[in-house]
Structure 1
Amino acid sequence: DLQPLNELARILLTASNPAVVFPPLPQPVPNERSVKVARAKEAGNAAFKKHEWNDAIKLYTISAEMAATRPIFEAGAYARDELALALCNRSAAYLGAGELVNALVDAEAVIKLKHSWIKGHFRKGKALIAMGRLAEGREAFLLGLQFDP
């Protein structure tokens, strides 16, 4: 935790030059929502492991909705990361359920949220291959490998 060091730097810089104005430190995200998002995701993971695709899809959807509806004053990076993870997992559940278009849509959304995350490209590639679109699936895999060779 670098907060004490940052606070010391702020004090020293302000003491030497009172005209320097620093913005307030960002407030940590309330943990309650993150815990709920994680619980829904973990419950979805348990259903996924049992091949209970519809239950997994519902639970990942709940996780995604909670992540996406964070208040605007909370840090957007948390919402983006939590949402990307929930959609990535839901894409895998859709693939397991044979809902290939939905699997592809979620994978595309993951890529838009976190372009350099290899898992989104992997999910897209798997969905495309399951649809019989082999060349496009291969391209998705190759693009993902550029970020994590």
Structure 2
Amino acid sequence: MNVPLAYDAKTKQLSLPKEAERVVPLVKLEVDQLNTLVQELIANGSDVPPPPTPENFNKDMSKMIKKLYEGGVQAFKQGKYEESAKQFNIGVAMIARRTKFESFQGTLQELGLFLMSRADAYLKTKNYLGAFNDADMLIGMMMVTPDNFLRRGVANYLLGNYEDARADYQRGLSFDPDNQRLTTELEIVLDKILEENGDYL
């Protein structure tokens, strides 16, 4: 299928006709992503962006992100879980606004911290689906971290997905067999599965 693209020389952006956007939404997504990269390349001020290194990581933005993280952690410690989740949400949004040519390694570390903390805040505010989504993304980013399987397992348990919770706890224990919290949660979910099956003693 041929999709007509239009180019605006003033804004240096591609666009699709409205009817094409509805028919091929994936092409619309790719055009939007391409426009974002072009805008960031133009804003960079050089034909080729510098190689991403820790030295050219935006340190001002890093300071703001760090303050948001510290504020979220402080609110969590004070039991202000809604405020904590809000701080982590803002931080994740700021991380997403980093230029696409910055060091991905630094961005990934920041994002991991925020997602772990936001998942914990979501569990406290009973936003179990949000906690599940954050923990699921964390597992994709850091596969061998047992605590991320614990987070997703707890979210699955609270969502009523007991078999999925059991699988998460067992996978977490495969990375850390001595993890007491994972062992305790696994025992709880196994009891719940027996109860659900009518086999509870």
Shared fold by TM > 0.5?
A: yes
Q: 8 Å contact 2:65–2:94 — kept in the other structure?
A: yes
Q: 8 Å contact 1:100–1:131 — kept in the other structure?
A: yes
Deviation at 1:25, TM superposition (A): 8.8
Match of 1:77 in 2: 105
Cα 1:80/1:25, change in 2 over 3 Å: closer
What is the TM-score with the length of structure 1 in the denominator? 0.74
Q: 8 Å contact 1:119–1:144 — kept in the other structure?
A: yes
Q: Deviations over 1:77-131 (max 9, x none)?
A: 1111211221121111111011111111111121122222333212101111222
| 1:92 lines up with 2:133 in the alignment | no
Structure 1 segment 37-76 matched on structure 2, within 5 A = 37-76=65-104
* Aligned partner letter, 1:94: Y
Q: Within 1, Cα distance between the matches of 2:142 and 2:63?
A: 21
Aligned-partner SS, 1:63? helix
Q: Within 1, Cα distance between the matches of 2:162 and 2:82?
A: 27
Q: Within 2, Cα distance between the matches of 1:147 and 1:51?
A: 31
Cα 1:73/1:141, change in 2 over 3 Å: same
User: Which structure features the higher share of helix residues?
Assistant: 1
Aligned-partner SS, 2:156? helix
* Aligned partner letter, 1:75: S
Q: 8 Å contact 2:69–2:87 — kept in the other structure?
A: yes
Q: 8 Å contact 2:54–2:106 — kept in the other structure?
A: no
Cα 1:67/1:118, change in 2 over 3 Å: farther
* Aligned partner letter, 1:137: A
Unaligned runs of 5+ in 1: 1-23
Q: Over aligned residue pairs, what C-alpha RMSD do you find?
A: 2.0
Cα 1:82/1:122, change in 2 over 3 Å: same
Cα 1:67/1:146, change in 2 over 3 Å: farther
Deviation at 1:134, TM superposition (A): 2.6
Aligned-partner SS, 1:128? helix
> Relative contact order: is structure 1 or structure 2 higher (C-alpha 8 Å, sep ≥ 6)?
1
Match of 1:5 in 2: none
* Aligned partner letter, 1:81: Q
Number of positions where the alignment pairs a residue of Structure 1 with one of Structure 2? 126
Aligned-partner SS, 1:71? coil
